[in-house]
A and B are shown apart, each in its own frame.
Chain A
């Protein structure tokens, strides 16, 4: 195992993007960062720029006006990257889900816009469930870093 891979496991930095939710999931994410649940035990830290992040946390159903911003933030995160959909709005569309006719303002789940790696259902999910989801995202992050596609680039 290389030094960079070890660093990735022990300190995944997350960037939190709010796309059109009700703020319920966002409050739970902030609760997970607080001393009661203390995610920094796992080395997880919230960063203020997507260029520093490894993991992208998204909440809420994506409105059509927000689609270009979501794509832009996704492209700004350096490889390898992992996307985590927090809450049932982000992972399945929840109340805003419409098959036909399509909703005029809301796209629905995040995986209709960008590829999602880990889904955390719940309305809102408990802070423990969010920690569990991010820890599972680390497994994906390591697998992505060791894939042959990335090895050629580096």
Chain B
């Protein structure tokens, strides 16, 4: 019996199409017999307008592919592709959904050049008192927006006034100036009792 089946297989194989994928011409996603699934993890891509330099991707990266470098007035967030394992942890951790893994996979490179790095430059704000860089400009704006969304509407006005006073000072200077600028948190105690 088995021999007859083998014969049938050989006869049928003449009428079926070949198994081999026509690689360079069949890589589009919408093609029926394409080899790329929709959830395939390829090269990461960072949206320049959304990234705020919060370092969440830097702390979660397991392969130490992501690096954050502060140089004078600029913060450079960078992914080194040779060390990246395309695990998509940075995509999960990003609070602004700036990083997304694309479907591209053809990344053979001759050397470690600018093509092997995915980097964005962000502007840093200098502290008014001590002159050290402490936060990116976009992160300051986003934290203020998020604070206003979640805060109790009773204290909304006072907090926004206080925040604009201390906005341009670093964390250590804020502590030192809290009494002289009248931004100490103890003044909200009576509001909470209401």
Contact = CB atoms under 8 A, between A and B. Distances in A.
A99 to B, nearest CB: 9
Contact of B82 (A35, A91, A95, A117): A91
A122 B86 contact: yes
Nearest to B35: A128
B28 to A, nearest CB: 13
A87 to B, nearest CB: 9
Given A37-B21, A126-B35, A128-B27, A92 B106 contact: no
B184 interface: no
A94 B109 contact: no
Contacts of A94: 63, 83, 85
B73 interface: no
Nearest to A130: B108
Interface residues of B, number: 27
A119 B82 contact: yes
A95 B107 CA distance: 19
A93 B111 CA distance: 15
A140 B110 CA distance: 9
B19 interface: yes
Contacts of B116: 119, 121
A9 B116 CA distance: 27
B105 interface: yes
A107 to B, nearest CB: 15
B83 to A, nearest CB: 4
B110 A88 contact: no
A92 B111 CA distance: 11
Interface string A80-100: 000000001001111101000
Contacts of B106: 128-129, 132
Contact of B83 (A97, A117, A133): A97
A120 interface: yes
The A interface, classified by DSSP as helix, strand, loop or mixed, is mixed
A94 B20 CA distance: 32
A131 B110 contact: no
B166 interface: no
A115 to B, nearest CB: 11
Given A35-B19, A88-B63, A109 B109 contact: no
B108 A120 contact: yes
Interface of A: 35-38, 41, 88, 91-95, 97, 109, 117-123, 125-126, 128-129, 131-133, 136, 140
A-B CB proximity, top 9 nearest: A92-B82, A92-B83, A133-B108, A123-B85, A91-B82, A38-B20, A132-B106, A129-B105, A136-B108
28 contacts: A35-B19, A36-B19, A36-B21, A37-B20, A37-B21, A37-B23, A88-B83, A88-B84, A92-B81, A92-B83, A95-B85, A97-B63, A117-B110, A119-B108, A120-B107, A121-B84, A121-B107, A123-B84, A123-B85, A123-B87, A126-B35, A126-B105, A128-B23, A128-B106, A129-B106, A133-B108, A136-B110, A140-B110
